[in-house]
């Protein structure tokens, strides 16, 4: 299956209480894509979200039927979104990962997929700190695009038989990337991601890379270039922290970040041709069904979900400690948010995350985040850390909005204007925001002004707060 042309038959999705559904009206959809989703019954608020991208001439229902992802959506509890392109976009129904109008942040197909993410997060109350993207072949190349364009959106990704971000700028260079691979320095690959993201400063997605050594459609050297790209982005070395032999002739190499947590993992499947690795069966680590470009070696969806931490309750960790429960906002003020949660047995401390990034740690079960903007919404999660520093699963997220603390200023009208709290017109002074008349513009008339919201002042001579 070329990333640009292929032939594949479709099969029917398995029966579920919930089922694959098409969603319309998810956004302006500049890339002319279709959105399909599978949301398990009774999905809790704050569950993760996974985006899965099909390959050329495949479809959302085909990928749903064969990939194994619905099994883990049910097992681990997350929403699954499957974007679909059509022959009206590309003659072979490929995502246009090599076309600037579709691979650039906030343009074309990339923006359409981002709009699907926003829709799903809004309609399913998904945890914004646990959004992931994966895809096969052209979908794998588009996964690289999405991770490069939107590291502020995705906590992790998995590139299956794909291409590094920034490799191609047109169809001709796309074919070169696909069949021959392009050799660049790690920094050049990393710079491509940093540029595509608008020079995002982190945190970066955690990326898994899957490749068959017998692939004659996507040159296996692409997996090495993808590893170089994401280890450079993370600022870590290219010597594995560990290697493990898995089932199906698969070698897993792990590249840890500075805290000892896997940031990049590669999965090399010995002898596997072009396709997605599946392993039909009823075991937890078995999934999917075989078919054209669905090859029986190992369940890649299971190992990807495990890498992302979806197998832990709450997800997002690599340790054995469960996710804390009962995370609650206990108070908000102008620039602070206070949290509490239930203790986890075996926890030595807890990490606190704001918007997916760690902002603090504590040995207790409460925390106050300070230095925040007033009148602003923030999202929090917590994770338990064991005695050797291994982080467990993250809790479900909660949101909190800081308040605005009224401030009062007593001064003469001239100084109130000079300080930017009021303005004068035709010799009279008016409070900014409320436009209340404060009298003559001079040094002798004095008022107390209360700032009830940023830049909005009211007269509060009778007492402040008014």
Strand partners, 428: 425, 440
Check if the beta carbon of residue 165 is closer than 8 Å to that of residue 144: yes
34 in helix, strand or coil? strand
Closest residue by Cα to residue 146 from 111, 184, 174, 120: 111
Phi, psi of 56 (to 5 degrees): -60, 140
* 137 given a catalytic annotation: yes
Tokens at residue 262, please? 């896997």
- The answer to whether 353 and 382 have CB atoms below 8 angstroms apart is yes
Please identify which of the residues 93, 126, 137, 396 carries the catalytic annotation: 137
Question: What DSSP state is assigned to residue 88?
Answer: T
CA dihedral sign of residues 361, 362, 365, 366: negative
* Alpha carbon distance 286, 82 (integer Å): 21
CA of residue 440 relative to chain centroid, distance? 55
Secondary structure (DSSP) of 112-160: HHHHHHHHHHHHHT--TTSEEEEEETHHHHHHHHHHHH-TTT-SEEEEE
> CB under 8 Å to 310, separation ≥6 — which residues?
48, 50, 72, 76, 78, 132
Could you give the residue numbers annotated as active site? 137
């Amino acid at each position: 299956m070329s990333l640009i042309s292929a032939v594949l038959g479709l099969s029917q999705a398995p029966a579920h209480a919930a089922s694959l559904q098409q969603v319309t009206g998810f956004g302006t959809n500049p890339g002319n894509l279709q959105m399909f989703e599978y949301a398990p019954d009774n999905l809790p608020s704050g569950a993760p979200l996974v985006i899965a991208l099909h390959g050329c001439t495949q479809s959302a229902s085909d990928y749903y039927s064969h990939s194994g992802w619905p099994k883990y959506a049910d097992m681990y509890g997350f929403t699954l979104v499957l974007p679909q392109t059509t022959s009206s976009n590309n003659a072979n129904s490929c995502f246009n990962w090599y076309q600037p109008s579709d691979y650039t942040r906030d343009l074309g197909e990339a923006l359409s997929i981002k709009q699907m993410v926003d829709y799903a997060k809004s309609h399913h109350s998904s945890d914004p700190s646990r959004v992931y993207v994966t895809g096969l072949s052209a979908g794998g190349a588009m996964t690289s695009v999405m991770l490069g364009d939107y590291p502020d959106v995705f906590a992790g990704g998995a590139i299956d038989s794909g291409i590094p971000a920034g490799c191609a700028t047109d169809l001709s260079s796309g074919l070169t990337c696909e069949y021959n691979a392009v050799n660049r320095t790690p920094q050049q690959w990393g710079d491509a991601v940093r540029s595509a993201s608008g020079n995002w400063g982190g945190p970066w997605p955690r990326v898994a890379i899957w490749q068959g050594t017998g692939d004659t459609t996507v040159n296996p050297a692409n997996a090495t270039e993808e590893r170089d790209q994401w280890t450079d982005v993370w600022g870590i070395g290219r010597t594995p922290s560990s290697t493990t032999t898995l089932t199906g002739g698969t070698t897993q190499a792990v590249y840890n970040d500075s805290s000892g947590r896997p940031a990049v993992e590669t999965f090399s499947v010995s002898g596997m041709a072009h396709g997605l690795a599946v392993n039909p069966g009823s075991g937890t680590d078995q999934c999917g069904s075989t078919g054209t470009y669905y090859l029986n070696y190992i369940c890649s969806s299971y190992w990807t979900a495990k890498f992302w931490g979806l197998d832990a309750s709450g997800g997002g960790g690599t340790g054995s400690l469960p996710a804390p429960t009962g995370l609650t906002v206990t108070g908000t003020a102008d620039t602070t948010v206070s949290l509490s949660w239930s203790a986890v047995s075996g926890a030595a401390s807890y990490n606190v995350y704001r918007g997916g990034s760690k902002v603090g740690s504590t040995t207790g079960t409460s925390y106050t985040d300070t230095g925040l903007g007033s009148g602003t919404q923030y999202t929090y999660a917590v994770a338990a850390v064991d005695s050797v520093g291994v982080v467990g699963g993250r809790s479900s997220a909660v949101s909190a909005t800081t308040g605005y603390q009224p401030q009062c200023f007593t001064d003469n009208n001239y100084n109130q204007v000079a300080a930017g709290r009021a303005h004068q017109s035709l010799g009279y002074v008016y409070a900014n925001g409320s436009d209340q008349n404060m009298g003559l513009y001079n040094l002798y008339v004095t008022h107390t002004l209360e700032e009830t919201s940023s830049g909005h002042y009211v007269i509060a001579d009778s007492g402040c707060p008014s």
